[in-house]
Amino acid sequence: MDLKIPIFSKTIFMDLYVLDAGGAGLIFVAIGVVLIFIAIAILVEALLMKSFKYNNFKKSVIDSTVANLVSLVAGILLLNSFGDAFDIKSNGGFAAMFGVTVVIEFVVLYLLNKKHSLKSTATVCILMNILTYVILYLFVSSDF
């Protein structure tokens, strides 16, 4: 039986059929790439929050981690439920996923930081996600 798993490639994602034991190692490569991207996103977002004096660095790392985990789970659920509409292989799907990410992370950040105004939370959230989505685009369109 073939096991079909998505992996990153030059075309953003491709379906890979794991036909033998050697292919199982690719799962760890794919997981490693995802974890590296998430770590970069958390660091970039925390640095942006700190530079905007939204929070200190430690609190920013914690808030970014929580927001990214919530939006990651939401993204997985959306892809499984409405794959084509949120498929980042297309510009529309990429934009849709960006919009969903901003809304979800805005809510999470606001709930974690009620001392900040809606405007400052929205500003920080939009800017940090623009940065991470630029990195995401570069990440998934590279030849690694």
Tens digits of residue pLDDT in 4-13: 444 444 444 4
Of residues 82 and 52, the one with the higher pLDDT is 52
> How far is residue 36's CA from residue 34's CA, in Å, rounded to a whole number?
5
> How far is residue 99's CA from residue 76's CA, in Å, rounded to a whole number?
15
Averaged pLDDT for residues 22-45: 82
Of residues 108 and 79, the one with the higher pLDDT is 108
Mind listing the pLDDT tens digit for each residue in 38-73? 999 999 999 999 999 999 999 999 999 999 999 999
Task: Identify the DSSP state of 41.
Answer: H
CA dist 107 to 1, 16, 71, 101, Å?
42, 35, 10, 10
Torsion sign across C-alpha atoms 13, 46, 99, 109: positive
Mind listing the pLDDT tens digit for each residue in 100-116? 999 999 999 999 999 99
Residue ranges covered by each domain of the chain: 3-140
pTM (predicted TM-score): 0.77
Q: Where does the pLDDT of residue 85 fall: very low under 50, low under 70, confident under 90, or very high at 90 and above?
A: confident
What's the confidence (pLDDT) of residue 143?
Answer: 59
Beta bridge partners, 8, equal 13
Of residues 131 and 6, the one with the higher pLDDT is 131
